[in-house]
Amino acid sequence: MIEFTLWDILRNLLFAARWTVLLSVVAFIGGTVVGLAVLFARISEHKLWRRAAFGYIELFQGTPLLLQLFLIFFGLPQFGVQIEPWTAAALGLTFYASAYLAEIWRGGVEALPIGQWDAAAALGLRRWQELRLVILPQAFRITLGPTVGFLVQLIKATALASILGFEELVRTADALNNATFQPFRVYGFVAVIYFVLCFPLARFARRLEDKGPVRA
Amino acid sequence: MGSGLDFGWLLTGWRALVEGAGMTLWLTACSTVLGLAISVLGAAARRGRIGWLKATVGVYVEAIRNTPFIVQLFFIYFGLPSLGVNLNPVVAAIVAMTLNVGAYATEIVASGLAAVAVGQREAAEALGLKPRQVFVKVVLPQAMAVIFPALASQVVITMLDSAVVSQISVRELTMRANLIQSQTFRPFETFLIAAAIYLALSIALRRVLNRIAARYLGPGLT
């Protein structure tokens, strides 16, 4: 039987935290890309696109993330698609993030006065130019606080990847707990590590929101 | 795709799913009621004048909001027994969910209390109401009307997050689905149905809550 010192536990957890951070970053980037596509559909001029995007968002915000991950990780192999825990987690969290981010940004777009659209149209801009040059820069700016706030939610959400067997913080903690029988200490450390990751971001997000919408 | 899908297991499996959904709703109801009670006290303390109480509530709220629910759950279920507190899975799940709702709702209720104009409290005091009456009869109802949408979505989020308690083998919807798919080897169809049930529950829950709001709270402050 190997003895685990306090430092052994902490070191293993800190190493595992890298994977939590990496998964969060990948999901945030993926979620931004897919989320933009969903946003464009959600604010499209065509009813069909708007409906489809609404359904997409409703689907991901109305079902548990855990089941979304299960469907990808356990469901896809049924169709002959083999998928690693890492890929399944990154994919599932990307979709999850995209739905939330699209909804946050849509709020920003809708918060803009209609005059912004009128002015952009009066300048003779095409729809795409209106969005790119006038609407989206302002929408992103006023939703910066909630966007950073969602990143906190996403970091916490990566903990569910442990259930698929991806070796991030919680999975490593489970293994350490089984080896050391010190659940109080192990999960306590894990909580502290998450807190250190999330709290500054949450503070930052709140400061951005308190400052209120920055005038473009 | 269609040829590969098989929903035959539903003939025998539906019962387990319905029971699981019942457990999911039960967990959600318990933790919502208890969590709301905590949140009203927490919000009152947070906006009150007792320094140490304010700080304690602040630490509680931030600790919960900045750590994953699954870690809180494992800490309570696996960690507390080493302090001599043994909880059965259902109780551990309710405790963890309640603490979770309590923290998020404390923030929401506190923001609602802040949104009620000071004049309302002053007017109530001028009418000779006692401090507790001012809070319970004048300030709180107005705050509730403002924050109801935020509270309602928090309840839905809590219901969805409860899927995680399947990991300490509480026999709720996700756990039941997991048991079924381990027997039928039909994970895709099983989790798809379970997801559909959650979706239906969250849509229904939102409707019910909105109806309650319309009935008891009247239009919010604008």
Complex prediction ipTM? 0.91
A-contacting residues in B 14-73 (Cβ below 8 Å): 62-63, 65-72
Residue with tokens 């709001």: B213
Structure tokens of B212? Answer: 């309650």
Structure tokens of A60? Answer: 């991901």
Interface contact A129, partner B, CB < 8 A? no
pLDDT at B32: 96
Structure tokens of B107? Answer: 């923030």
pLDDT digits 0-9 by tens, B197-221: 999 999 999 999 989 888 877 654 4
| Mean pLDDT estimate for chain B | 92
Interface contact A161, partner B, CB < 8 A? no
Residue B196 has pLDDT above 90, yes or no: yes
Q: Number of Cβ pairs closer than 8 Å across A and B?
A: 125
Provide the residue range defining the domain that includes A139: 6-210
* Closest to B7 (Cα-Cα) out of B171, B198, B202, B196: B196
- Compare B109 and B12 and report the one with higher pLDDT: B109
CA B149, CA A28: separation in Å to the nearest integer?
A: 27
Under an 8 A CB cutoff, do A190 and B78 touch? no
Under an 8 A CB cutoff, do A187 and B74 touch? yes
Model pTM? 0.91
Q: What domains, with CATH codes, occur in chain B? A: 14-216 (1.10.3720.10)
Query: What backbone torsions phi and psi does residue A112 show, to the nearest 5 degrees?
Result: -75, 140
CA A86 to chain CA centroid, Å, is 15
CA A67 to chain CA centroid, Å, is 16
Interface contact B202, partner A, CB < 8 A? yes
* Closest to B173 (Cα-Cα) out of B155, B160, B186, B187: B160
**CATH number of the domain that A198 lies in?**
1.10.3720.10
Interface contact A15, partner B, CB < 8 A? no
Determine, yes or no, domain membership for A189: yes
pLDDT digits 0-9 by tens, A124-171: 999 889 999 999 999 999 999 999 999 999 999 999 999 999 999 999
pLDDT at B2: 46
* Closest to B101 (Cα-Cα) out of B47, B33, B172, B160: B33
Cα distance from N-terminal residue to C-terminal residue, chain A:
63
Task: Concatenate the DSSP letters of all residues of A46-70 into one string.
Answer: SHHHHHHHHHHHHHHHSS-HHHHHH
Determine, yes or no, domain membership for A215: no
Interface contact B79, partner A, CB < 8 A? yes
Under an 8 A CB cutoff, do B161 and A64 touch? yes
pLDDT digits 0-9 by tens, B86-121: 899 999 999 999 999 999 999 999 999 999 989 998
CA A115, CA A113: separation in Å to the nearest integer?
A: 5
Determine, yes or no, domain membership for A190: yes
- Compare A214 and A76 and report the one with higher pLDDT: A76
Label residue B158 left, alpha or beta by phi (over 0 means left) and psi (-120 to 50 means alpha): alpha
The total of structural domains in chain A comes to 1
Determine, yes or no, domain membership for A136: yes
